[in-house]
């Protein structure tokens, strides 16, 4: 996810002093379930925690309508009611199944014993122009009929050229159903590539994922008294990040202004994203920082107080470690992700540093230093079988979510031919155990 598990666990622990256990338990349960909601729960945790350090915070205080907004915040005589939402392009991605098409073609290649990778997929788009703007969609068959299309239209042509030894394999599809080019070159294995025109840049102010999410929350907040607003977390949405760098797209500000025009009860919108900066050789080194964009209704005198509150809130956010797009992908995956696996340093030949998790897995017998590519995959703890009492003990601690907290060398005397290593395991670590 965007923030690391240890950072989220500390904030869950501290929220227990502010919110009721049921609310925090619910957030922890959502963070432990792989899926799109995990990223939404992550943004809620950091926002609620940050606000709790700046004033009096209550959550899910019932409105007259029966709705229970995420936030009721008070600081002296100033207060506001708000909801937190997360926005992604998941719906647009479902309607433009580029990745599914690529995966299906790779599956066909695999059945023909062709090397992994070596695929280049270039998809064309269809643009519809209306009085209100333009809408771009990829020329790919609908998701529900995609597998059948690949089976009948693409697989036979790949099979035919592979059988004839014609490489690189080239296939052009251009009909009423689809339009794209496929190139399969085994010499490029294991790498694949692809491209398509952008389809997620918003061009209509009230027809995009950001506006849809804002409108839904504005409806839920009807009847809230006093200052009312919405805090938006970026879950991988071009309406937030992509529109700032595309002249054809409507901006985030234009979308929010349209919300203010249609919903006079909403006084402010705070948009939270992650800004990525790259440097170093070949721009490989990435640094990440929270990007916060506050929009306040014209004529409101609340901007100074809101800016002060949200600037203070951001000081309590953890450091982001990936973009929202990558965070959304990771949120859909089971397991705890990798640590420093595969990384090491040797300042001199007698000093070696490697990740503690990888070291412990090696000690437990479920990895070796010869693993190569395997070290970049999570260890299969549940499948591991101990062959000795010591392996069983190490595996037990790993499965409990415990890592060594100290390793001590106990020197043997001159009458002994060895030294002892004493390893003490620590408390349950949220890096490798469920959040709670």
Give residue 362's pLDDT: 87
DSSP 284: -
Q: CA–CA separation, 374 vs 365, rounded Å?
A: 14
Instruction: Indicate if the alpha-carbon torsion angle 302, 244, 331, 368 is positive or negative.
Output: negative
Q: CA–CA separation, 319 vs 7, rounded Å?
A: 9
CA atoms within a 13 Å half-sphere pointing along the CA-CB vector of 337: 20
Q: Is residue 351 within 8 Å of 259, Cβ to Cβ?
A: no
Q: CA–CA separation, 406 vs 64, rounded Å?
A: 55
Q: What is the CA radius of gyration of the chain?
A: 26
The residue with tokens 């068959």 is: 141
Could you write out the DSSP letters of every residue in 183-198?
A: EE-GGGTT--EEE---
For the chain, give the number of residues: 436
Task: From first to last of the 436 residues of the chain, give the pLDDT tens digit.
Answer: 899 999 999 999 999 999 999 999 999 999 999 998 999 999 999 999 999 999 999 999 999 889 999 999 999 899 999 999 999 999 899 999 999 999 999 999 999 999 999 999 999 999 887 777 778 899 999 999 999 999 999 999 999 999 999 999 999 999 999 999 999 999 999 999 999 998 888 888 999 999 999 999 999 999 899 999 999 999 999 889 754 445 567 899 999 999 999 999 999 999 999 999 987 776 678 999 999 999 999 999 999 999 999 999 999 999 999 999 999 999 999 989 888 888 888 887 788 888 999 889 888 888 887 776 555 566 666 566 777 888 889 889 999 999 999 999 999 998 999 999 999 999 999 999 999 9
Q: Is residue 61 within 8 Å of 72, Cβ to Cβ?
A: yes
Q: CB-based contacts of 26: which residues, under 8 Å, 6+ apart?
A: none
The backbone region for 417, taken as left when phi is positive above 0, alpha when psi lies in -120 to 50, beta otherwise, is alpha
Give residue 374's pLDDT: 55
Give residue 243's pLDDT: 46
Give residue 97's pLDDT: 95
DSSP 135: E
Alpha-carbon 187 to chain mean position:
32
Q: Are strands 268-279 and 228-234 parallel, antiparallel or unpaired?
A: parallel
Give residue 383's pLDDT: 65
Q: CA–CA separation, 381 vs 23, rounded Å?
A: 31
Give residue 304's pLDDT: 97
| Coil, strand or helix at 141 | coil
**What's this model's pTM, rounded to 2 decimal places?**
0.86
Q: CA–CA separation, 376 vs 426, rounded Å?
A: 25
Q: How many helices (DSSP H) and strands (DSSP E) are in the chain? A: 13, 16
The residue with tokens 């296939």 is: 171
Give residue 375's pLDDT: 57
Q: CA–CA separation, 26 vs 62, rounded Å?
A: 17
Q: CA–CA separation, 312 vs 309, rounded Å?
A: 5
Give residue 245's pLDDT: 46
Q: Which residues of 302-315 are buried (b: 16+ CB within 10 A; e: fewer)?
A: beebbeebbeebbe
Q: How is residue 54 written in tokens?
A: 């700046």
- The helix (H) or strand (E) run that includes residue 153 is none
Query: Where would I find the H helices in 272-366?
Result: 303-314, 324-331, 356-363
Considering only the C-alpha atoms of the chain, give the largest distance between any 2 of them, rounded to a whole number of Å.
92
Selection from 407, 406, 402 nearest residue 427 by Cα? 402
Give residue 222's pLDDT: 92
Burial of 215 (C-beta count, 10 Å sphere; 0-12/13-18/19+): middle
| Coil, strand or helix at 403 | strand
Q: Is residue 195 within 8 Å of 123, Cβ to Cβ?
A: yes
Q: CA–CA separation, 53 vs 226, rounded Å?
A: 22
DSSP 70: S
CA angle 42, 46, 51 (to 5 degrees): 145
Residue 218, φ and ψ in degrees, nearest 5: -60, -40
């Amino acid at each position: 996810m965007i923030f690391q598990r240890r950072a989220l666990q500390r904030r869950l622990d501290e929220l227990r002093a502010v919110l009721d256990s049921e609310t925090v338990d619910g957030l922890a349960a959502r963070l432990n379930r792989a899926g799109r909601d995990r990223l939404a729960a992550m943004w809620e945790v950091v926002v609620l925690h940050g606000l709790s350090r700046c004033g009096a915070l209550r959550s899910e205080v019932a409105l007259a309508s029966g709705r229970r907004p995420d936030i009721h915040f008070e600081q002296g005589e100033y207060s506001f009611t708000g909801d937190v939402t997360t926005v992604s392009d998941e719906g647009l991605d479902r309607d433009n199944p580029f990745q599914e098409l690529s995966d299906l073609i790779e599956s066909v290649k695999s059945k023909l014993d062709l090397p992994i990778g070596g695929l280049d997929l270039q998809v064309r788009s269809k643009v519809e122009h209306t009085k209100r703007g333009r809408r771009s969609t990829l020329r790919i068959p609908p998701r529900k009929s995609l597998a059948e299309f690949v089976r009948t239209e693409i697989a036979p042509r790949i099979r035919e050229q592979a059988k004839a030894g014609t490489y690189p394999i080239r296939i052009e599809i251009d009909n009423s159903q689809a339009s794209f080019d496929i190139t399969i070159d085994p010499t490029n294995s294991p790498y694949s590539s692809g491209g398509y025109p952008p389809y997620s840049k918003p061009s209509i102010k009230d027809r995009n994922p950001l506006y849809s999410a804002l409108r839904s929350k504005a409806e839920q907040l009807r009847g809230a008294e006093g200052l009312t607003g919405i805090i938006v977390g970026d879950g991988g949405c071009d309406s937030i990040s992509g529109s700032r760098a595309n002249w054809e797209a409507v901006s985030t500000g234009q979308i929010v202004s349209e919300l203010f025009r249609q919903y006079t009860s909403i006084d402010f919108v705070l948009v939270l994203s992650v800004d990525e900066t790259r440097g170093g050789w070949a721009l490989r080194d990435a640094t990440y920082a929270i990007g916060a964009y506050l929009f306040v209704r014209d004529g409101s005198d609340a901007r100074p107080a809101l800016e002060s509150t949200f600037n203070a809130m951001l000081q309590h956010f953890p450091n982001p470690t990936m973009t929202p797009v990558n965070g959304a992908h990771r949120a859909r995956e089971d397991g705890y992700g990798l640590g420093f696996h595969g990384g090491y340093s040797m300042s001199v030949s007698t000093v070696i540093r490697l990740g503690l998790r990888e070291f412990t897995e090696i000690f437990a017998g479920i990895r070796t230093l010869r693993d190569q590519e395997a070290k970049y995959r999570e260890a299969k703890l549940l499948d591991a079988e101990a062959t000795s009492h010591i392996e069983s003990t190490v595996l037990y601690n790993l499965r409990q979510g415990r890592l060594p907290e100290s390793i001590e060398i106990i020197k043997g005397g001159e009458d002994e031919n060895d030294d002892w290593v004493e390893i003490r395991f620590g408390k349950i670590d949220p890096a490798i155990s469920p959040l709670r």
